Amino acid sequence: LLGRKSLMGHAIHLSERELSLMAESGTVAVSCPTSNLFLGSGLFNLDKNIAAGVRVGLATDIGGGTSFSMLKTADEFYKVQQLNGNRLDPMGSFYMMTLGNAEALSLRDKIGTLEAGSDADMVVLNAGATPEMKIRLATVETLAEELFLLQTLGDDRAVVETYVAGEAKKSGLRSFASLSLPEV
């Protein structure tokens, strides 16, 4: 049951023995913060999982949660970590949403990066998509601050473009393959 391709959703009430078994087998603990917060079922402790050597993923769970949005999920994950006394920087959050989840799914060679040969599954985000975001964006000075803004204030309105395998999947957009490199 446990192994590198095993994903254990929620993983909020694990004993030291269970954490050890997951670490030894390479099993992934997948946090579903919107679900756990909505249900009041517990808080995922990222630092505890990492200290035990457990691989970690981040996911939505609409069955018990409130959103399919990874931006909303990352925002709730950030808040959960704050409640646990853990500091999660925005670079870490975006890593978890991209390459971190690709690694959790054992798909690092196919997704999660913009490297040549990777599937071109991506979203283009607008950090000034809402009036509130525009106000906050005016004070942003670093990439980390912009990512934090997207993570905490972003929602579906921040998603400007969506591509799957290089093809635009949001109406009115061109294929990614048709863009010249300087436009990307």
Asked if residue 181 is part of any domain, the answer here is no
Beta strands 159-164 and 55-58 are: unpaired
Asked if residue 177 is part of any domain, the answer here is no
In this prediction, residues 108-126 reach a mean pLDDT of 89
**pLDDT tier at 115 (50, 70, 90 boundaries)?**
confident
Structure tokens at 171: 């109406």
In this prediction, residues 94-106 reach a mean pLDDT of 94
pLDDT in tens, 132-180: 999 999 999 999 999 999 999 999 999 999 988 888 887 544 555 555 5
CATH code (residue 98): 3.20.20.140
| Mean pLDDT lowest among 82-91, 125-134, 158-167 | 158-167
Which pLDDT belongs to residue 176? 53
Asked if residue 1 is part of any domain, the answer here is no
Q: Cα separation of 18 and 122, whole Å? A: 35
Which pLDDT belongs to residue 62? 82
| pTM (predicted TM-score) | 0.87
Number of structural domains (the chain) is 1
Which pLDDT belongs to residue 180? 53
Asked if residue 45 is part of any domain, the answer here is yes
Asked if residue 174 is part of any domain, the answer here is no
Show the domain range for 20: 7-169
Alpha helices in the chain (DSSP H): 16-25, 33-39, 46-51, 70-83, 90-95, 101-104, 131-137, 143-153
Which pLDDT belongs to residue 184? 46
